[in-house]
Amino acid sequence: MAADELLLQHAAALGQAVLRFYSWDQPSASFGYFQRYADVEDLTGLRPLIRRPTGGGVVLHDEAEWTYSLTFPPAHPVWQLKAEESYRCVHEWVRHAFEVCGVGTELCPETRATGPGQCFVGAEKCDLLFIGQKIAGAAQRRNRDGLLIQGSVQAKSTGIDREAWEIAMLAESDWSEWQPGGSFIDESTSLAKRKYATNVHNQKR
């Protein structure tokens, strides 16, 4: 969460989109920035509970879940899209990556009944569906620094290997590997300790 927040802060300075894949070292749950902590406690027994810098509902993370983030600078065409369009654009990209891997998925045409505060109960418009079930969702935060999209893919039912999917995602554009400097790593480590690992932040509302 700290690394994603810093990528958003530095998006304009970096001047180009950044795609980051990551995973969780223990079963955890993240929840939207505007959710009430007391409500989230009732929705899942997973701990720790971590407040994201983006909106959305509760997402359960384990070894079978694939997490990614995308940051776009203000000059990027995706930043200039309305929220629904940037959401659709990213999930169309995820959908095509599954297609490259030999799995057919589709964007949800309209919002379905959803579980209050729960990301993977029901589906929002433009979420990714596999055989009618949601397998990918995302949350956004857009400000003058840029656009941050945090996505979750729960693709165990598809039988696709994560590495193959990541390769397919990267094949969509001309990406080059970016190695963050020591100062970025130190700053994200510090931010994680003083913010995202604290009750003050996670239980702030």
Q: Is 108 a catalytic residue?
A: no
The answer to whether 90 and 69 have CB atoms below 8 angstroms apart is no
CB atoms closer than 10 angstroms to residue 123: 24
**How far is residue 17 from each of residues 128, 148, 162, measured CA to CA in Å?**
22, 10, 21
Which of 101, 108, 119, 126 does the annotation list as catalytic? 119
Shortest CA distance to 165 belongs to which of 96, 76, 92? 96
Contacts of 137 (CB under 8 A, 6+ apart): 56, 59, 119, 120, 123, 124, 127, 128, 151, 152
The string of DSSP codes covering 122-170 is S--TT-EEETTEEEEEEEEEEETTEEEEEEEE--GGGT--HHHHHHHHH
Contacts of 205 (CB under 8 A, 6+ apart): 34, 35, 36, 37
Residues recognised as catalytic: 119
